[in-house]
Structure 1
C-alpha cells in the first residue's frame, strides 16, 4: 500500500473553480488532467480518451461517468474503468486531497 511519502502532491486548482457535477481541464506539472466534481466529491484522471484521443473535459459528465466527446465511449471517473463501447482501455486516475480550499493531486 502506498503512503503519502510515495507521492508528490501538486496544487491543481481551487475547489470553487471545479463546477458542481461537471468537469474542467487543467495542466498540472506538465500533465493534462480532467478534474470532476460529483455530489461534492472530487476525482482526477488523465484528460485524454484512450480510444479517440479527445479531451475528456470537452465531454459530458453524468453521475460518475464521463462521456468522450468524439465517439461517446464512457469511463467511471472514480476508477478510470471503461463503462461503454467503444472504449476498452482505462484512463489513469490520481489520488486527490483537499486542503485549505485547494485540490491537490498526487503523482508517483
Structure 2
C-alpha cells in the first residue's frame, strides 16, 4: 500500500520563484510549480550543497544558485557542467490544493 504524506498547499509555493523547500520524512525537498504540474526533487544540489529552492526555475529546469549547474526537474538528470549526479525525485500527488509526496527510487 502506498503512503502519501501532505507537505504543502499549492498556494505555499512562491509565485515569484515557483519553488518551495519542505521537509519530508527527514529530507529537505524542493517543490516546483510548473504551469501544468508540480514536481519534487531533493533540495540540495549534489555538487555544491546549495538549496535548489533558491535557484532559478525555467522551462522545467532548475539552475543551482551556487555554480549554475542545471537539472531537469522532471527526470532529475543534470543538463550541463559542473553537475554530474542525478537528483533524487519524489512522486507527487495533488488533491484539491494539497501537495502530497511519496519517496521514489533515485
Fold shared per TM-score above 0.5: yes
Q: Shift of residue 80 of structure 1?
A: 0.4
1:19 aligns with 2:14: yes
CA distance in 2, matches of 1:36, 1:48: 14
Structure 1 runs, 4 residues or longer, greater than 4 Å off: none
Q: CA RMSD in A?
A: 1.4
CA distance in 1, matches of 2:67, 2:97: 35
The number of residues matched between the two structures is: 103
Identify unmatched segments of 5+ residues in structure 2: none
1:86 aligns with 2:82: yes
Q: Shift of residue 19 of structure 1?
A: 3.1
1:62 aligns with 2:58: yes
Q: How does 1:26-105 map to 2 (within 5 A)?
A: 26-105=22-101
| TM-score normalised according to structure 2 size | 0.90
| TM-score normalised according to structure 1 size | 0.88
